Structure 1
Amino acid sequence: MSRGTLKINIEDAAPNRRRGGDIRVTLSPKTVGSTTGFGGFLRLEPGEYVTEHYHPYSEEFLHVVAGELETVLDGDPVRLGPGDSLIVPIGVRHRVVNVGAEAARVVFHLSPLAPRPELGHVDTEELVEPDAPHPEVGGGR
């Protein structure tokens, strides 16, 4: 029995700039057949941000690898730096801004999955690149 692809390199993940920054989903139902969540990497240049949104079905876990961020949770700012981790509870509006002088790198994971991929994010702010393709997280490989 073949296990299929379980390993994905960041360079093989399509960049998504729809909400800002460079978001790359590496592990997902579409890429590796995951059934409980998805995750990947976020890179934000100084001053870049991810627009405010919330997840009605998922918690989001953020792990800062490099850079200085401010994450606003339902209007309350939380400063994050290298080595910091943050959980964004289900239904909490959040926006992530690089407030430092260097590129910020973040590892993220969301779980559980929404019933359908298009229900996973609710945008509450105008998108940075609204015409960019919507990322395909769910569905079969």
Structure 2
Amino acid sequence: MPVTQHTKVAAADVEVNRRRGGEIRVVLGPKTAGATTGFLGLLTLAAGEFVAEHYHPYSEEFLYVTRGTVVVRLDGEPVTVGAGEGLLVPKDVRHRVENGGDEPAEAVFHLCPLAPRPELGHVDTEPLVEPAAPQINVGAA
């Protein structure tokens, strides 16, 4: 029987990406764990923070809120997602994630399949929060 390779990665060991807003960490992905089909990460939004609107032409996004409440705008329509709830964002659907509350919010996200090349994974549809910041560990994020 073949031996399966596994990789364990701590979120605290992954560099933060703030390019689109909030604190995004790709915990398990091509760069961090050698993943070949998708990636999983952690999103933390302080009160009032948001992730700028974008869409994924190749990937579905699975979002599961672990703390707080976020509003996800899907093609402009608001969907409230609270702790213990998940949301599927289909490919090609514009989405923006907002924390309009007074407390921090945290969510786990997973995208798959990967885009053919990392730079094709996201299409930004509003100005980025940190447009000059380098893109870190995003794979197709």
* TM-score > 0.5 by shorter chain: yes
For the pair 1:99 / 2:114, whether they are aligned, the reply is: no
1:15 aligned partner: 16
Question: Over aligned residues, Cα RMSD in angstroms?
Answer: 1.7
Question: Contact 2:55/2:123 (CA < 8 Å) preserved in 1?
Answer: yes
Question: Contact 1:55/1:122 (CA < 8 Å) preserved in 2?
Answer: yes
For the pair 1:50 / 2:45, whether they are aligned, the reply is: no
- TM-score (norm. length: structure 1): 0.93
Shift of 1:62: 0.2
Q: Where do residues 76-87 of structure 1 align in structure 2 (5 Å cutoff)?
A: 76-87=77-88
Unaligned runs of 5+ in 1: none
1:41 aligned partner: 42
Question: Contact 1:57/1:114 (CA < 8 Å) preserved in 2?
Answer: yes
Shift of 1:3: 6.3
Write out the 4+ residue segments of structure 1 that deviate beyond 2 Å after TM superposition: 1-5, 135-139
Which amino acid in 1 is paired with 2:38?
A: G
Percent identity (aligned): 60
Shift of 1:138: 3.6
Alignment length (residue pairs): 139
